[in-house]
Amino acid sequence: MATVRNATKAVEEIVRRPYSIEFEYGDTPEDGVRVYVAEWPDCFAAGNTREQAIAELEDALRELAGYRLRKGLPIPEPVGTLSGKVLLRMPKKLHQDAERRATAEGVSLNTWLTTAIARELGPATVATQGRRKKTGRRR
């Protein structure tokens, strides 16, 4: 009995880790939501709503974690958190042009660059293979 409790405790500890989750939204609300754990390529789920998809994902993660623990397979670690800060070096002319555009649009250079990068990335990137994703930290 203690072994089962220990295994359950280990699985719950794994599920509570701050894994990165990615959402893929359908074109319409009726298409629902798919959700993935970035660190676990084989862990995904779907639901009609974001909340339902997350609940399904937690169940899938519990099953996979339990399986991996029983088989002695490695458990993926959460990806380190990003600070949101980037030191960017660029040619002086590009810096000047970006500063001018930001000033013309009435925003800070930081805001303008962030917006320009987001615009360039668009709703899908090559890495997402056409899936529209939003990435976030669990809890």
pLDDT of residue 120: 81
CA distance linking residue 107 with residue 120, whole number of Å: 18
Q: What are 75's two structure tokens?
A: 């458990």
Pairwise pLDDT comparison (128 vs 62), residue with the higher score: 62
83-119 tens-digit pLDDT: 778 888 999 999 999 999 999 999 899 889 988 887 8
pLDDT for 34-87, tens place per residue? 999 989 988 999 999 889 999 999 999 999 999 999 999 999 988 876 677 888
Which carries the bigger pLDDT value, residue 83 or residue 13? Answer: 13
Contact 70, 40 (CB under 8 A): no
* Across 10-17, average pLDDT: 92
The average pLDDT across 13-40 equals 88
Residue 81: Cβ within 10 Å count: 9
Residues near 50 by Cβ (< 8 Å), separated by ≥ 6? 23, 33, 35
Q: State how beta strands 20-25 and 40-47 pair.
A: unpaired
